[in-house]
Chain A
Amino acid sequence: MTQGGHAPAPPAAGSREVSMTIPVAPEMEIVATAQAAALGEYIAMSRDKIDEVKLALVEACINAFEHANCRDEQLHLTFRLGREARGDWLEVEVLDRGRGFDQKAVEPPTPEKTFASHRKRGWGLQIIKSLMDEVDITSGEWGTRIVMRKYK
């Protein structure tokens, strides 16, 4: 029994999901993208859409690697497959147990600001939102959870 915390909720009956944990280490995001690609191929998602999921996942991972300061030095990933009226989907959840961040304090980047300044970073969330169909981000002292979905 875990004390002082909440056990993760069990997956819903019949749900199709795969979980994996990756260490905070260089290029581990590529390990995660291999899983996303395999599941995208499983639902016959197009190669270009799989590439979009992979790139969004890379950004979510490197954001956490760089900024989250994960207490357990790991990222917890869950890949889910589902179906609804709009079509089949692949959803990726990236959970870090880091320090969290205030979304309102993140100023959206623009190409003009990027080219005018020495600071060229800070594009991760913008890229994720642009490449995925639905993105939900929650953050607090417990860490950050990004759930992003792509329809087939």
Chain B
Amino acid sequence: MKNKIKIYRAMQNLTQDQLAEKIGVSRQTVNAIESNKYLPSLGLALKVAKLFKASVEDVFVYDGNKDENNNS
């Protein structure tokens, strides 16, 4: 799974901290999502997409890879 959060964040002049505050998670979580180390829940993905006024498919792109959160 890839995402364009960094691009959308830059478009809206938001820092990771500000985005984290807006979606109710920690800055580390935003950073982990951006760097594809953590796959957000459906609820959080929808929240991010709504904040950027985009669809979930625009922000998150499924590339057929294994679920990142299950990599142990």
The answer to whether A and B interact is no
